[in-house]
Amino acid sequence: MNLKSLTLPELTAVIKELGQPDFRGKQIYTWLHKGVRSYDEMSNLPKTLRDTLAAQYPICAPKVVRKQESQKDGTIKYLWQLADGNCVETVLMRYHYGNTVCISTEVGCRMGCAFCASTIGGLVRRLEPYEMLDEVLFTQIDSGLPVSHVVLMGIGEPLDNLDNVLRFLELVNSEEGMNISMRHISLSTCGIVPKIDELAEKKLQISLAISLHGPNNEIRDRIMPVNKAYPIEVLLEACRRYYAATSRRIHFEYAMIDGVNDREEDAKELLRRLKGLPAHINLIPLNHVEESPLKPSSRAAVARFQSILEGGGVTATVRRTLGGDIDASCGQLRRNYTKQNQ
């Protein structure tokens, strides 16, 4: 058990079992959520308690094994080594409204999307709540920049690790911890329908982003294996249920792939699919992955696609490309590090 994966009441109960008063639980919780690497840093605890905690509940802080900073826009990409030697990526992005951290939720991914480097090599394991929290904490500490927003769009499929993700959301939102507002958190999924329904039941005020990347089953089947289990009609019905339960507008991510999903007829079909659903479409210039034959759409094709969507009354934006001069695409840094160290 890692104490940082516990809520404040749960941690307090563990500390009481050690014969300590309740207030020690809050002291320890606060220290852990400041990102201490050792119990010796907890200066207001008795040394005997610090020694007991170190022996029974070691702190497993991640280590930076790669760090890249963009000279163009200040984006920072980290490759963190976890206690078991596995590595995950985190990206710090600077926006006018604050600093956003994009975190991983798994080591690897089993979803198999054709355009994504994260899925090469498959799923190794799912991250624990404290490991996701550490991505945010130690990115903030190392960069020296305050983090106000979190996006779960890094390596892994968040809904494939839903229980741990829900616990992470509770922890990062905690008033005694980082206190990041749920409205400042976005979760991206490729479309695991039963888990979307389960998430809807929680009625969280997070933003849900659907990795759509195609207007029909033919295209999604080619590039997203999950579509064979949950076809686009089933997925969009789940989105309508999610909106009905939460009243939160859904964001649709759409990677623009040359000759695959960027035609005028694709844009028009997408409009028909989303009719009546409050939605925002985020058009993403595809990041090239060495192992993939897929290529990004031209700027002209992206602009034409956006114009058709907006002409049909749907809000569509083109994602600003950040970290273009570093391994900014999801999974690239981990993939390159793994190849170099095989």
Which is catalytic among the residues 87, 89, 113, 239?
Answer: 89
Q: How does residue 252 score in pLDDT terms, banded at 50, 70 and 90?
A: very high
Q: How does residue 262 score in pLDDT terms, banded at 50, 70 and 90?
A: very high
Q: Mean per-residue pLDDT for 14-25?
A: 97
pLDDT at 323 over 80: no
Q: How does residue 72 score in pLDDT terms, banded at 50, 70 and 90?
A: confident
pLDDT at 338 over 70: no
Q: Mean per-residue pLDDT for 209-217?
A: 98
Q: Between vectors from CA 68 to CA 295 and to CA 140, what angle results, nearest 5°? A: 115
Q: Mean per-residue pLDDT for 269-292?
A: 91
Per-residue confidence (pLDDT) for residue 336, from 0 to 100:
67
Closest-CA residue to 5 (of 129, 155, 125): 129
Q: Which of 82-96, 180-194, 280-294, 314-328 bottoms out in mean pLDDT, i.e. has the lowest?
A: 314-328
Per-residue confidence (pLDDT) for residue 339, from 0 to 100:
61
Task: Sort 265 into a burial class: Cβ within 10 Å, 0-12 / 13-18 / 19+.
Answer: exposed
Q: What is the mean pLDDT of the chain?
A: 94
pTM: 0.93
- Residue 162 sits in the same domain as residue 306: yes
Tokens of 204: 């969280």
Rounded to whole angstroms, the Cα distance separating 48 from 54 reads 10
Q: How does residue 330 score in pLDDT terms, banded at 50, 70 and 90?
A: low
The structural domain count of the chain equals 2
Backbone angles phi, psi at 17, to 5 degrees: -65, -20
- Residue 21 sits in the same domain as residue 83: no
Per-residue confidence (pLDDT) for residue 117, from 0 to 100:
85
pLDDT at 57 over 90: yes
pLDDT at 210 over 60: yes
Q: How does residue 1 score in pLDDT terms, banded at 50, 70 and 90?
A: confident
Rounded to whole angstroms, the Cα distance separating 185 from 90 reads 15
Closest-CA residue to 140 (of 66, 59, 87, 78): 78
CA distance from start to end of the chain: 31
- Residue 91 sits in the same domain as residue 43: no
- Residue 321 sits in the same domain as residue 181: yes
Which is catalytic among the residues 87, 102, 109, 330?
Answer: 330
Per-residue confidence (pLDDT) for residue 328, from 0 to 100:
54
Domain that holds residue 27: 3-56
- Residue 41 sits in the same domain as residue 91: no
The answer to whether the beta carbons of residues 215 and 252 sit under 8 Å apart is no
Backbone angles phi, psi at 79, to 5 degrees: -115, 115
Residue 330 annotated among the catalytic residues of the structure: yes
Residue 116 annotated among the catalytic residues of the structure: no
- Residue 160 sits in the same domain as residue 45: no
- Residue 20 sits in the same domain as residue 119: no
- Residue 34 sits in the same domain as residue 132: no
Instruction: Give the domain CATH number at 315.
Output: 3.20.20.70
- Residue 281 sits in the same domain as residue 319: yes
- Residue 32 sits in the same domain as residue 67: no
